[in-house]
Amino acid sequence: MSDVANKILLIVLDGASDRPVGGKTPLSEAGMRNLDKLAYGGINGIMDTVGPGIRPGSDTSHLAILGYDPHTYYTGRGPFEAAGVGIDVKGGDIAFRVNFATVENGLVTDRRAGRISDTDELAKAINEKVKVPGVDIIFKRSTGHRAALVLRGKGLSAAITDTDPKKEGNPIKECHATDDTPEAKRTADIVNSISKQVVSLLDDMPVNQERRKQGLPPGNAILIRGAGEVPHIPQFQERYGLKGAVVAAAGLIIGIGKMCGLEYLPVGSMEIESSGSQAAAKMKKAIQALETYDFVLLNIKGADEAGHDGNFEKKTQFLGQADESFKDLLTLKDVLIIVTVDHSTPVSIKDHSADPVPILMHGPGVRMDDVAHYNELIAYKGGLHRIKGMDVMPIALDLINKTKKYGA
Amino acid sequence: MSDVANKILLIVLDGASDRPVGGKTPLSEAGMRNLDKLAYGGINGIMDTVGPGIRPGSDTSHLAILGYDPHTYYTGRGPFEAAGVGIDVKGGDIAFRVNFATVENGLVTDRRAGRISDTDELAKAINEKVKVPGVDIIFKRSTGHRAALVLRGKGLSAAITDTDPKKEGNPIKECHATDDTPEAKRTADIVNSISKQVVSLLDDMPVNQERRKQGLPPGNAILIRGAGEVPHIPQFQERYGLKGAVVAAAGLIIGIGKMCGLEYLPVGSMEIESSGSQAAAKMKKAIQALETYDFVLLNIKGADEAGHDGNFEKKTQFLGQADESFKDLLTLKDVLIIVTVDHSTPVSIKDHSADPVPILMHGPGVRMDDVAHYNELIAYKGGLHRIKGMDVMPIALDLINKTKKYGA
């Protein structure tokens, strides 16, 4: 092993940390044999990914860990959801979250169209056939009744209201500008035009005829909300001088990676991994990528899913299986390995929490500490103490000798 | 005990932490048996209530611990002293610190009127009889020669000078505006009118005739200083969605609690507690209040008093006695218990210092650490590491699952 690492592998065990139940957590119980070896040979600590007591989403936390202050670059859920469903959003785009809904006689009768999920054809029709002069309209389905809408072009603004009436029995709301600019007025007009076109386009489509036959509410309208301007994010290579890639299954993480200029490296199935073998395939991909890239972000999502399910055993089992794939890291050379978590997802609350996450750094030149296990209950004893998500990239860049000197 | 706490009990042992004398502090020597049990079963750390090296008052530190940045909400001593003596100040009021003084032949001969303390009648007279059209004048005595003055009404400003000549032998200073606004000019005129009215009002009052007989300087004038506009403080319930109360004996803490929208719950005598039994009465009140309120701030002041006296033994003894009342906390359920200190009051310096204070959090879901004692010498080894006063409420809200997610 040389004295200095020249590459960074940043592994995010999405939602892996927890609150103790009877003094135990999935990470403390999973038997993370390989990860424990990395902890033993590295430096450890706890981290507030955004800040103490701030309960982050995966989007805001990943931005922070990648060194992009979410208070600057996080412009609302629309842009990140659009990126998350695979739309290649660009800085300046106006992006929205969308629900498929049911409209009968001009009134919204179901805001989720009976939680419709067969929306492939509907989304395709909107994407291809809804037109407004002077603006590109990009529409893509997400999970269930959800979808994302992106407007691209000049003279647009996110200063507009939602069309969601919030309560059934009301018509779709007119979209209005919330400031006096012609851009906002124009964008509101575009949204209203899209709303109207969609109803006449979808109402008679085969999938909706079929749903009516089955007594299901048709997905014949869309509710548009959460307008946000896609941030102009400085690209990774320019910001850090590193050629970077992202290996992930979750659309949101892939989207954020792409927005930051990381190249997305797909791994077989796009499913969220629920087994160790899927995690292993990703790990293999990430390690391979280090031959070509200076920086690889690997997101492993399975533990977060189990946390949202409130399933301690499933979370523990997944982590134990995922640990197998960490074995290959033990022989890596010249790589700074960082293993952290984007936010805790305690099984007791089935959602994200602000409890600090564990972080370890392992590689040439790292000051080893006394911590010999990787979990949120003892990481606080390590040499990194308590850092912030925004500290990760500066510390990592310094450890691979890529920081500029401040002063003389 | 359920998985998640739903109430917060925030206990501030005012001024309890210290600097070591021969390696020992009052907290380390007091035998805090019950508090040690909370430390053992909780997570511990040290805290800069305002910031490293910033020596806080009880006002600025309590604001920070309650999540109100003192750099925003602390507008000078006037407003907080006025609140502290029990004036129900309102946002926009102009508040002042006041000294009773002695004027003879137009010159200030004693800036503290011989440290007069029988000011009840004098203050009452000022409060009832001094009038200026278009403004409400509220006057209340404080301890010794001190008092507070509040002006309430439209068109007022705090941009004015003090009337204190600073040196005996000079006349009371004219109050001047420090900016060009008509509001400042008007407020200066009001202050000057009050100054003049007070002298003719008080000079012949029985208490002053009596003082002259005894050869004591009469309290026949007031010196007005420290003008500050009472901040518009977002109320606790709106800010946090929690119904809150404050149990305290110190006027300043009660005042700050009220300004933040906490309901003040009086406990028998309003005296600063100097014995364990007084601390116990407050503890009982605070625990009872948890049946009605989501958040209770309990301030126990005795240790601070002993610190200001420079009395190691008295401080140690008080803390040991106060610890008895902590026994009742050990059986509390569903409550996040936080025990901290607003600032160190080292007996060696008889005043506040910026030395970090210990903090513990105890309750469902808290990640227990290895710390088994509650004192400022070992708290640094705990899982909270070193946090700031402004971190307390975000962390506490997250532990009772009351934070909004930032992102998705």
With CB atoms and an 8 Å threshold, state whether A354 touches B393.
no
Question: Are A115 and A145 contacting, i.e. CB atoms less than 8 angstroms apart?
Answer: yes
Judged against a pLDDT cut of 50, whether residue B1 lies above it is answered with no
CA distance A169 to A204: 21
Chain A residues with CB-CB distance to B408 below 8 A:
57-59, 77, 80-81, 252
Chain A residues close to B384, C-beta within 8 Å: 386
Average pLDDT over residues A262-289: 84
**Residues A302, A303, A308, A312, CA torsion sign:** positive
Cα pseudo-dihedral B10, B16, B20, B25, rounded to 10: -100
Judged by phi (left if over 0) then psi (alpha if -120 to 50, else beta), residue A105 lies in left
Given a contact cutoff of 8 angstroms between Cβ atoms, the answer to whether B315 and B303 are in contact is: yes
Given a cut of 60, whether residue A1 has pLDDT beyond it is: no
Interchain contact, B383 vs A385, CB within 8 Å: no
Nearest CA in chain B to A63: B407
pLDDT tens by residue, B252-280: 899 999 999 999 999 876 566 666 678 89
Reported as a single tens digit per residue, the pLDDT across B113-161 is 999 999 999 999 999 999 999 999 999 999 899 999 999 999 999 999 9
Neighbours of A398 (CB within 10 A): 12
CB contact under 8 A, A352 and B397: no
- Across the range B389-402, mean pLDDT stands at 97
Residues from chain A contacting residue B4 (CB–CB below 8 Å): 348-349
**Which percentage of chain A shows pLDDT scores above 70?**
98
Using a CB-CB cut-off of 8 Å, the residues of chain B touching A62 are none
Instruction: Report chain A residues touching chain B, CB-CB < 8 A.
Output: 19-21, 23, 46, 50-61, 70, 74, 77, 80-81, 252, 346, 348-349, 351-355, 376-377, 380, 385-386
Q: Name the pLDDT band for B86 (thresholds 50, 70, 90).
A: confident
Helical (H) or strand (E) element with B43:
strand B43-48
Pick the residue of B367, B385, B391, B395 with the most A CBs within 10 A to test the interface with A by mutation.
Answer: B367
- At A77 the pLDDT is 82
**pLDDT band for position B353 (cuts 50, 70, 90):** very high
Does residue B44 have a pLDDT over 50?
A: yes
Nearest CA in chain A to B371: A381
Query: 3.90.340.10, 1.10.1050.10, 3.40.720.10, 3.40.50.300: which CATH number matches B7-74+232-399?
Result: 3.40.720.10
Q: Please state, in angstroms and rounded to a whole number, the distance separating the CA atoms of residues A34 and A359.
A: 15
Model ipTM value: 0.89
Beta bridge partners of residue B339, listed in sequence order: B11, B360
Pairing verdict, β A357-362 and B7-13: unpaired
Q: Are A283 and A326 in contact (CB under 8 A)?
A: yes
Shortest alpha-carbon distance between residue A106 and chain B (Å): 32
Contact B387 A21 (CB under 8 A): no
Helix, coil or strand: residue A180: coil
Are B398 and A21 a contacting pair at CB < 8 A?
no
pLDDT tens digits for range A139-181: 999 888 999 999 999 999 999 999 999 999 999 999 999 999 9
Name the closest residue on chain B to residue A48, using Cα atoms. Answer: B395
Q: What mean pLDDT value characterizes chain B?
A: 95
CATH architecture assignment, domain A7-74+233-399: 3-Layer(aba) Sandwich (3.40)
Which of the residue ranges A124-138, B81-95, B316-330 would you say has the lowest mean pLDDT? B81-95
Which residue among B368, B391, B407 places its CB closest to the CB of A52? B391
User: Cα distance from B68 to chain A (closest Cα, Å)?
Assistant: 15
Chain segment A208-225, per-residue pLDDT in tens: 999 999 999 999 999 999
Half-sphere exposure of B34 (CA within 13 A, CB side): 16
Domain boundaries, chain A: 7-74+233-399, 87-229
Q: How many A×B Cβ pairs under 8 Å?
A: 90
What is the reported pLDDT for B273? Answer: 64
pLDDT in tens, A3-59: 899 999 999 999 999 999 999 999 999 999 999 999 999 999 999 999 999 999 999
Query: Of A219, A286, A211, A293, which Cα lies nearest the Cα of A247?
Result: A286
Q: Answer whether residue A299 shows pLDDT above 60.
A: yes
SS3 A386: strand
Indicate if the pLDDT at residue A207 is higher than 80.
yes
- Token pair, residue B132, equals 């200026």
